Amino acid sequence: MAEAVVGWLVCPIIKIVVQKAASDRIKWMGDGVSKALERLRNTLLHLQTVASAVHLRGSTDRCRNLRAWLQQLMDAVYEAQDVLDDFDDSVPHPESSVVRFGKRILGADERVNRLKDVVEKLEAIHAGSSMLLSATETIASASVSRQPSGSNHTGPMRPDEDAVVGREKELQEMVSWLVDTPDADAKPVSVPIAAIWGHGGMGKTTLAQLLFKDQKVTSAFDLMIWVRPDAKDNEFELARQILQSANVDVPDSMKSFHRLQTDLQEKVSSRKFLLVIDDVWNREDMDMKGIGYREMWAKVLAPLRHGESTGSKIVVTTRQKIVVTALEAREFYLGDLPDNDIWSLFTRCAFGDDNIDKWSPELQGIGRKIAEKLRGSPLLAKAVGQMLGSNRREDYWRNLVPKNWRFKRDKLVKIWMALDFIQPTSGKAQLEDGGSKYFDQLVERSFFHRQKLGRRRYYYIHDLMHDLAEKISRFDCERVEDAKKEIPKTIRHLSVSGDSDTVAQLKSRCDLKRLRTLLILKNPSSSLDQLPGDFFTELKGLRRIGNLKYLRYLALCKSTTKLPQALTKLYRLQTFSSPKGSGLEVPEDIVNLTHLRHLDMDTSKITGIGKLVHLQGSVKFHVKNEKGHTLGDLDGMSSLRKELHIKNLDVVTKQEEACKAGLNRKENVKVLELEWNSTGKSVPSVEAEVLDGLEPHQYVKRLIIRRYHGNRSPNWLSTSLNESNFYFKYLHLINCRKWEVLPPLGQLPCLKVLHLKEMCSVKKIGREFYGTNPIAFPYLEELEFDDMPQWVEWTQAEKSTDMFPKLRKLKLLNCPELIKVPQLPLFVRKVSVKNTGFVSQLKLSSSSPSKARKFALDTCSATVLTNGLMHKQQLESIAILTLRNCQDVKFEELHVLTSLKRLQISHSSINDEQLCTCLRGLQALTWLEISNCNNITCLPQMESSDCLTKLHELHIQQCSEFSSHTLCQVLRH
């Protein structure tokens, strides 16, 4: 099993090296470099064929020799990759170009000599591959690897998949559906489609293959067609594959989709056929709802679905429910296998034909515990069973324990980039985009699983798949928790964690010159508070950290506070990560690492960060009147993709200087924060012009403006808003104390969240706030006003304007002068009001998650029920009412609360007569609590038979004048 996976893994790595060898930047060099590259490419292509054969065949009886050969191949391919990287002229070289040219003439160029050495090494490995091919008996199948990349035909069953486990019911249902033939006299209808769908590894393809070879099925159809399209195939490629699988010749010169459709109708649809389309994916580049995808398949299948012969069927397998909907298919869902079926499949793969009872009860017990961890996945049951079947010792099986290996998506993508797993594509797509797509595909295939902890989302790999991956990569990757552990010289990826003794003993134990990724981790169960100060300087291979010239990824724990200057020689470094708050002292020349794409640390103190033009992550930039800290330094950083936080904007005094930052050209920045200091020494008109020059790109998702000293809105957010759209989803205006009039934010088409805080000069919010569009704030869901001491009036828009149609959450906090507000939006679900002029406290919230909207209202002023603040529909939906310290209650007006079921009155001056008036109209009331109401002496006797008929719970607390005797009289009535 492991050997087959290694064979599968080495093939794409060989492809990467072949592509590098074909680079024009190396070909021009003399001294036999061009011939050496040609030999390298040819040898690698032959080796790729052998590795593909190993992957297809799997393990052999000569497992030990096979494993050694594959490890030699993997090591040599990685070495070739390193050698080709040495020819990268974008990385500074310690020697001048003149010296290097002289060495090439004399045959002393180390790079050229290493290239020739690695070619000879690979040729020697290739020479020994004939023995391997003979051992695996796959010379014929090796040709599969030479098929075009788009060829994915998957028809025949593999030997280990000739029986179904746990899917007998689904198999019989599918067979019945396939062989069911409509009445011959019936009117022809569209060829029906069935979809077998479920998560990756559930056995969809296996079930389809079983159907494809079932005797009842094969005898029911004249023509059997199996295709497995690539996710990127268009309608022409799909039609061509269907014809070819139906043994219809399609000339290479054929470019007409219409001609293909004609052939489908004439040569396929005229016969009773079964078409199986395996592993169908929705095309997100078309649309997320599947409409464009449905139209594409409709074109392809049109000649087949309206054919002359009745009884034809189409079956698709897919992981996506949207595909089932788009194709209007009958649904056959494959969920997790029951535990007994998983155990049966696991034992079949682990023990083969052997009788399991002949093995010890201890081994069987361990096996059952392992099977329980497979979470119902047939794919995992097969993979783990096959891996364990090669070694049935109890200690070996017992070592497969849960790892709880949890990771973040972005971090893993960065490591993939360090390995060159992600190659550049045409267009504007970045490596990170490609990595994210790969990651999503692995999640769809259930290789990774999602886990949400609080607001954070993590991913994890199945425990046993982690063990398998660890075994496969044991010569390339190492996790060191014990310094006594042997570390291979071939190691390329190293993580170090443990206590201080472990780290101290690790020094001088291994040669790490080939490292591509290095993670220094703090083990939470250890006593390690600080890495040894000489760790970087004493670790063998790191005495000159600059010798780690292939290092792409470096991550440090929080306890690391100082780095050597030699770090600035790691010119290929792409990611450098240190936890926030670590206080890490960064060498000044870190800006020489121009290949850096991610600096996961506090960047505000780095001088000249503008030189790092490839940075993709978040950047905090502290503006100063110093070289390397001006806004102009940001101009070339057009690759930023996450957050850009610019601080200390007080020092900027001219609009022209602000424009030099080029913010409106940074199309990939997701979050932009503009921050001034609270010095109070600025000139408002100057600050306003500076903000005019800091216009963001229209596709910024979140904009935060903090401590802006100007007294007006920037032009791009006011006068220009009618001419150009900004697609902000989140807008925060914080502590802008001199800003007087708000811009027409209601015209922002995508705004979902608006927070205004400490806008101390705003006195009135009126029609200018909503803009001139028919719908103001069309997508706003959350609106918050906080600490606005001079705000007095908030009026609504014109009657012809629809306001806040999607607002769900409203907060009005600490606005002591606010006395006028518009009516609450009809569909709001949560309102919080505290310390305002019209009410000191109010809380309106949804009382149940059901579709029937019911509210709970908690307030200290009952006037909110009658002053027009709330719609009639909202009042009638109040099911829970809490009145605290209310002295202004007109209790007869509570009768509008027709849905009120729970009422709490506390700290009120209400008397017996008012309570009687209140309760007489509340016919739906089931729960009543009265507390700290000292004017209440008794409960009123309800003469009407329909008053309080539903009351079943009563609480009276801390009412000093209340008589329990009167309560008994009321209850008797």
Each residue of 659-701: pLDDT tens digit? 999 999 999 999 999 999 876 677 889 999 999 999 999 999 9
Cβ atoms within 10 A of the Cβ of 6, count? 22
Place of tokens 């293959």: 209
* Rg of the chain on CA atoms, in Å: 36
Helix (H, G, I), strand (E, B) or coil at 681: coil
Whether 197 contacts 333, CB under 8 Å = yes
- What single-letter amino acid sits at 641? R
Global pTM value = 0.73
Say if strands 273-280 and 313-318 run parallel, antiparallel, or are unpaired: parallel
Question: In the predicted model, is pLDDT for residue 972 greater than 50?
Answer: no
Cβ atoms within 10 A of the Cβ of 565, count? 12
Q: How far apart are CA 374 and CA 464, in angstroms?
A: 8
Q: How far apart are CA 378 and CA 375, in angstroms?
A: 9
Cβ atoms within 10 A of the Cβ of 385, count? 24
First-to-final CA distance of the chain: 82
Burial, 145: exposed, middle or buried (Cβ in 10 Å; 0-12, 13-18, 19+)? middle
- Please report how the helices 257-267 and 235-245 are oriented relative to each other, as an axis angle in degrees rounded to 10: 30
Helix%, strand%, coil% for the chain, nearest 5? 35, 15, 45
Whether 492 contacts 475, CB under 8 Å = no
Answer with the residue of higher pLDDT: 444 or 136: 444
Q: How far apart are CA 273 and CA 218, in angstroms?
A: 10
From the list 31, 125, 138, 33, the residue with the least C-alpha distance to 78 is: 125
- What single-letter amino acid sits at 913? E
Place of tokens 């060989």: 14
Question: In the predicted model, is pLDDT for residue 88 greater than 80?
Answer: no
| Over residues 255-282, mean pLDDT | 82
At CA 553, angle to CA 548 and CA 557, rounded to 5? Answer: 100
Whether 668 contacts 640, CB under 8 Å = yes
Answer with the residue of higher pLDDT: 110 or 29: 110
Cβ atoms within 10 A of the Cβ of 582, count? 15
Q: What is the pLDDT of residue 151?
A: 36
| Over residues 277-306, mean pLDDT | 67
Question: In the predicted model, is pLDDT for residue 31 greater than 70?
Answer: no
Question: In the predicted model, is pLDDT for residue 531 greater than 80?
Answer: no
Residues 763-790 have pLDDT tens digits of: 999 999 998 889 999 999 999 999 999 9
Six-digit token pair at 482?
A: 């014990």
Q: How far apart are CA 433 and CA 438, in angstroms?
A: 9
Share of residues in the chain with pLDDT > 70 (%):
75
Q: How far apart are CA 940 and CA 817, in angstroms?
A: 40
Answer with the residue of higher pLDDT: 909 or 163: 909
Q: What is the pLDDT of residue 543?
A: 46
Domains in the chain, ordered, with CATH? 1-88+106-136 (1.20.930), 189-333 (3.40.50.300), 339-401 (no CATH), 405-474 (no CATH), 475-583 (no CATH), 839-972 (3.80.10)
| Over residues 955-962, mean pLDDT | 88
Whether 650 contacts 677, CB under 8 Å = yes
Contacts of 151 (CB under 8 A, 6+ apart): none
Among the listed ranges 21-25, 66-70, 696-700, 872-876, which one has the minimum average pLDDT value? 21-25
Q: What is the pLDDT of residue 285?
A: 45
Whether 442 contacts 416, CB under 8 Å = no
Residue 342: what are its φ and ψ, rounded to 5°? -60, -40
Q: What is the pLDDT of residue 144?
A: 34
* pLDDT mean across residues, the chain: 78
Question: In the predicted model, is pLDDT for residue 6 greater than 90?
Answer: no
Distance of CA 716 to the CA centre of its chain: 32
| Over residues 186-195, mean pLDDT | 73
- Residues β-bridged to residue 273: 223
Share of residues in the chain with pLDDT > 90 (%):
21
Answer with the residue of higher pLDDT: 32 or 766: 766
- What single-letter amino acid sits at 494? L
CA dihedral 517, 521, 523, 529 (to 10 degrees): 150
Answer with the residue of higher pLDDT: 347 or 730: 730
Question: In the predicted model, is pLDDT for residue 396 greater than 70?
Answer: no
Q: Where would I find the beta strands (DSSP E) of 634-747?
A: 643-647, 671-675, 702-706, 730-734
Question: In the predicted model, is pLDDT for residue 148 greater than 50?
Answer: no
Q: How far apart are CA 405 and CA 392, in angstroms?
A: 25
Q: How far apart are CA 131 and CA 136, in angstroms?
A: 9
Among the listed ranges 313-322, 844-853, 946-955, which one has the minimum average pLDDT value? 844-853
Question: In the predicted model, is pLDDT for residue 289 greater than 60?
Answer: no
Residues 918-942 have pLDDT tens digits of: 887 788 889 999 999 988 888 777 5
Six-digit token pair at 4?
A: 């087959």
From the list 606, 612, 599, the residue with the least C-alpha distance to 629 is: 606
Residue 405 binned pLDDT confidence (cut-offs 50, 70, 90): low
From the list 316, 326, 331, the residue with the least C-alpha distance to 293 is: 326
Q: What is the pLDDT of residue 228?
A: 84
Whether 544 contacts 409, CB under 8 Å = no
Question: In the predicted model, is pLDDT for residue 794 greater than 90?
Answer: yes
Helix (H, G, I), strand (E, B) or coil at 214: coil
Question: In the predicted model, is pLDDT for residue 4 greater than 50?
Answer: no
Question: In the predicted model, is pLDDT for residue 140 greater than 90?
Answer: no
Q: What is the pLDDT of residue 834?
A: 94
Among the listed ranges 8-12, 240-244, 676-680, which one has the minimum average pLDDT value? 8-12
Q: How far apart are CA 912 and CA 533, in angstroms?
A: 78
Q: What is the pLDDT of residue 153?
A: 41
Q: What is the pLDDT of residue 792?
A: 95
Q: What is the pLDDT of residue 399?
A: 54
| Over residues 790-818, mean pLDDT | 92
Whether 318 contacts 324, CB under 8 Å = yes
Q: What is the pLDDT of residue 435?
A: 85
Whether 894 contacts 928, CB under 8 Å = no
